[in-house]
Structure 1
Amino acid sequence: MPPARKRPRRYDPAKTRAAVLAQLGQVREAVRDLDSEPVLRLTASVAASLAEVGHAVARPAGPRATLTPAEWFLAPGTGPSASDAPLAPLAPDAPLTPLADVERALRDLLDAHPDERLVETGAGVMTLDDFLVTRLVHLVLCADDLTTSVPGLDVPLDRQALAAATRVLADALALKAPGGSTEVRVPPYAVVQCVEGPRHTRGTPPNVVETAPLTWLRLATGRLTWPDALARAEVSASGERADLSGLLPLLP
Structure 2
Amino acid sequence: MSLAGAQSNLWAVEGGNKLICSNLLKLARTNLVEARVTSVSLHGSENKALYQVKYEQDKEQGLSFYDIVVIAAPLHQGMTNVSFENFEPPIKDFPGQYHHTITSIIHGYLNSSYFGFDDPKLFPFASILTTDLPNLFFNSIENICPVNISDGFRRKQPQEAAIWKVFSQEPLIKHELKTLFRSYYSVQVTDWAAYPHYDASVTVPSIVLHDNLYYVNGIEWAASSMEMAAVAAKNVALLSYNRWFQYLDMIDQKDLMHKVKTEL
Q: Which has the larger radius of gyration?
A: 2
For the aligned pair, the TM-score class normalised by the smaller chain equals under 0.3
TM-score by length of 2: 0.24
TM-score by length of 1: 0.24
